[in-house]
C-alpha cells in the first residue's frame, strides 16, 4: 500500500498539491500570455484576466472543498482522542469554526477577483489568511498536549506565517498609501526603475511566503491522517423511501477510528 492510500492522508495531500497547482498553473498561463510580469507578481494578479481567471477560480473552489473536508476530519480526530476534556473540546470547536470561516474566505477569493470587486477580494483574503492564522494557532496549542513531536514543527510554521503576515501588511500599507502613485490596484506591469518597486516586490514575496506557509502547515496533517478512517452507518426503519412510516428513524453515525499519534 502506498503512503497516500493509508487512512485519510490523501485529504491534506490533495489540498496541498491542488492548491499549489492552482497558483502555479495560473501563474504560468498569465506569464505566457504576457498578462503579468514573470518576477513575483501578486497571487491574485495571476487570476485576474481570462483565461487564467477561469482556471484560478475553479481550482480554488475545489481547494475550498478539500479544505473543508480536512478541517472536519481534524476536528473529528481531536474529538475522538480527547473525550471528556472540556478545555480541549472548546479549543477543538473553536478551531473547527475558524477553519470553516477560513475556507469560506478562500471561496470568496476564488469567485471575486481582484479587478472585479476589490474590496470583497480583500475581505476574502482577510478571512482566509487572518482567520486561518488563528486556526493554525489553535491547532498548534492543541498539539502541545496531544502531539508534542509535531508541536515544535507547527510552532515554526506559525512563526513563518505570522512574519509573512506582518511583512505583507506593512509593505501593502506603504505601497497603497499614495506615496507611490494612485490606481496601483489595477497595475499589472512594473518597471524596476519605478518608485515603489522594491516595496511592491517585498509585498508580493510576503504573499507567496504566506500562502506556502499555510500549505506547509497542512503537510503536518499527513502522518496523523494515515491513522484515521471515517465510516457512516445509516439505519433506516422501513423498506421504501416513498412509503416510510410515521415512526421513521434515521441515524447516521460517523465513526472515527484513530490509532496512536
Tell me phi and psi for residue 69, to 5 degrees.
-65, -40
Q: What is the mean pLDDT of residues 127-132?
A: 96
Model pLDDT, residue 134? 97
Model pLDDT, residue 83? 78
Domain ranges of the chain: 9-226
Tell me phi and psi for residue 54, to 5 degrees.
-65, -45
Half-sphere exposure of 239 (CA within 13 A, CB side): 0
Q: Each residue of 30-45: pLDDT tens digit?
A: 999 999 998 889 999 9
Contacts of 21 (CB under 8 A, 6+ apart): 59
Q: Each residue of 13-26: pLDDT tens digit?
A: 999 999 999 999 99
From CA 45, how far away is CA 52, in angstroms rounded?
Answer: 10
Contacts of 1 (CB under 8 A, 6+ apart): none
Q: Are 223 and 47 spatial neighbours (Cβ–Cβ below 8 Å)?
A: no
Model pLDDT, residue 261? 40
Q: Are 120 and 76 spatial neighbours (Cβ–Cβ below 8 Å)?
A: no
Look at the alpha carbons of 80, 81, 83, 87 in this order and tell me if their dihedral is positive or negative: negative
Which of 22-26, 61-65, 156-160, 172-176 has the weakest average pLDDT?
Answer: 172-176
Could you identify the residue written with the cell 476536528?
75
Q: What is the mean pLDDT of residues 217-240?
A: 79
Amino acid at each position: 500500500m502506498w503512503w497516500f492510500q493509508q487512512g485519510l492522508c490523501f485529504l491534506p495531500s490533495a489540498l496541498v498539491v491542488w492548491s499549489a497547482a492552482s497558483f502555479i498553473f495560473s501563474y504560468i498561463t498569465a506569464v505566457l500570455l504576457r498578462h503579468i510580469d514573470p518576477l513575483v507578481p501578486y497571487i491574485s494578479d495571476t487570476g485576474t484576466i481570462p483565461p487564467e481567471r477561469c482556471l484560478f477560480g475553479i481550482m480554488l473552489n475545489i481547494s475550498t472543498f478539500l479544505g473543508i473536508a480536512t478541517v472536519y476530519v481534524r476536528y473529528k480526530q481531536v474529538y475522538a482522542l480527547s473525550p471528556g476534556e472540556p478545555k480541549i473540546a472548546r479549543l477543538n470547536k473553536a478551531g473547527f469554526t475558524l477553519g470553516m470561516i477560513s475556507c469560506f474566505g478562500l471561496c470568496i477569493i476564488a469567485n471575486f477577483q481582484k479587478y472585479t470587486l476589490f474590496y470583497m477580494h480583500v475581505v476574502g483574503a482577510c478571512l482566509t489568511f487572518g482567520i486561518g492564522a488563528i486556526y493554525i494557532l489553535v491547532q498548534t496549542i492543541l498539539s502541545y498536549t496531544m502531539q508534542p513531536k509535531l508541536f515544535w514543527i507547527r510552532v515554526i510554521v506559525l512563526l513563518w506565517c505570522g512574519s509573512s503576515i506582518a511583512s505583507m501588511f506593512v509593505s501593502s500599507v506603504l505601497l497603497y498609501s499614495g506615496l507611490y502613485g494612485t490606481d496601483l490596484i489595477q497595475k499589472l506591469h512594473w518597471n524596476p526603475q519605478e518608485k515603489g518597486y522594491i516595496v511592491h516586490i517585498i509585498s508580493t514575496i510576503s504573499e507567496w511566503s504566506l500562502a506556502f506557509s499555510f500549505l506547509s502547515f497542512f503537510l503536518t496533517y499527513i502522518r496523523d491522517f494515515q491513522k484515521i478512517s471515517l465510516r457512516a452507518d445509516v439505519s433506516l426503519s422501513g423498506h421504501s423511501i416513498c412509503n416510510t412510516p410515521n415512526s421513521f428513524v434515521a441515524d447516521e453515525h460517523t465513526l472515527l477510528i484513530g490509532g496512536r499519534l
